[in-house]
Amino acid sequence: MEQAIFGGGCFWCTEAVFQNLKGVTKVVSGYMGGHKLNPSYEDICKGDTGHAEIIRIEFNPEEISFDDLLLVFFKTHDPTTLNMQGNDVGNQYRSVVFYENQEQKLATENMIDQLEKDMVFERPIVTEVTPVSIFYSAEDYHQDYYNNNANKAYCVHVIQPKLHKFIREFREKLR
């Protein structure tokens, strides 16, 4: 197994997407990239810890590649907005790939270059590409959030449209 760590706005949204991919065995919501030790969700929401809301994805590279995960990541959030996704604003919602090794770093940089060359987005990609740091698991109530709260307003109005878009575009990669 390998892991990938992505931040693409609210971790409830990104978690819901990646849980549905073949080859993904586990998705954990958490925080990474900041300076405060053992941050809580309340700390993160203040926006001054430097942490991003992220997901840590465990995957089988024989079933899904890191490049495939990157493509899903880039196409299911807006990597051109700095420190925000939709109505979620703050550096905790930034677009970021935390790489574990030089292969992941290079793959991410190559993906960004290709997406920009192909003009997939109207504006430049601002996704940070940075080495992994200490991972802090989010509180239990954040884990598997969409599956446990599908009828809540945020899930219906924000997560479900992202899931529908994801399913249309990546049907062949679904479980």
The catalytic residues are: 10
Reading the block at residue 139, the tokens are 């509180």
Q: Alpha helix (H) ranges present in the chain?
A: 11-18, 41-46, 66-75, 102-117, 145-149, 153-154, 160-169
- Pairwise CA distance, residues 119 & 143, whole Å: 34
Three-class secondary structure of residue 32 per DSSP: strand
